[in-house]
């Protein structure tokens, strides 16, 4: 019986765990404005700001991370010359930009941390996932897909 790798022309499917982690982190990044208030971690921000800073960027990361994981699982973006490599790089690049947006928009919040309108617990809940998304996505975008040194 032929293996799945042989059926793909010898390409090995990469484990999509980092891409799946991006998708999960993207989903988590949507939640702070909605789980914070019931936990007593509320910030005084407009709802449209929360949508732009959390919901839109989180959805971008969820969708792009999931599509990137699918490509990695199928082996279409795991190797140099693979047909999905450019798409995989674009998807992880979009995840990086979304994470960078979350970082940049939360810098003023971090600087106001500890003020009466920005308790540290709420600040940490809102601002910690963005740097993690940006770091993982940047690593996925810049790494050598075959795992060899550049």
- Token pair for 36: 């914070």
pTM over the 0.85 mark: no
Res. 147: pLDDT tops 70: no
CB neighbours of residue 143 within 10 Å: 12
Average pLDDT score over residue span 21-42: 95
**pLDDT band for position 44 (cuts 50, 70, 90):** confident
Q: How far apart are CA 74 and CA 100, in angstroms?
A: 28
Phi, psi values for residue 66, rounded to 5°: -65, -45
**Tell me: the pLDDT tens digits for 106-141?**
999 999 998 888 999 999 999 999 999 999 999 999
- Token pair for 25: 């982190």
DSSP assignment, residue 38?
Answer: G
**Tell me: the pLDDT tens digits for 50-106?**
999 999 999 999 999 999 999 888 765 555 556 678 888 899 999 999 999 999 999
| pLDDT recorded at residue 22 | 96
């Amino acid at each position: 019986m032929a293996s799945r790798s042989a059926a793909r022309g010898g390409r090995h499917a990469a484990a999509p765990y980092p891409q799946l982690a991006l998708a999960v982190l993207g989903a988590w990044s949507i939640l702070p404005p909605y789980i914070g208030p019931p936990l007593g971690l509320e910030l005084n921000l407009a709802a449209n700001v929360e949508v732009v800073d959390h919901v839109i960027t989180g959805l971008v990361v969820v969708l792009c991370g999931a599509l990137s994981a699918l490509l990695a699982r199928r082996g279409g973006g795991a190797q140099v010359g693979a047909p999905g490599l450019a798409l995989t790089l674009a998807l992880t690049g979009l995840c990086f930009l979304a994470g960078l947006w979350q970082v940049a928009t939360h810098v003023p919040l971090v600087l106001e941390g500890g003020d009466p309108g920005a308790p540290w617990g709420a600040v940490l809940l809102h601002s910690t996932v963005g740097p993690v998304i940006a770091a993982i996505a940047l690593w996925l975008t810049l790494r050598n897909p075959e795992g060899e040194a550049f």
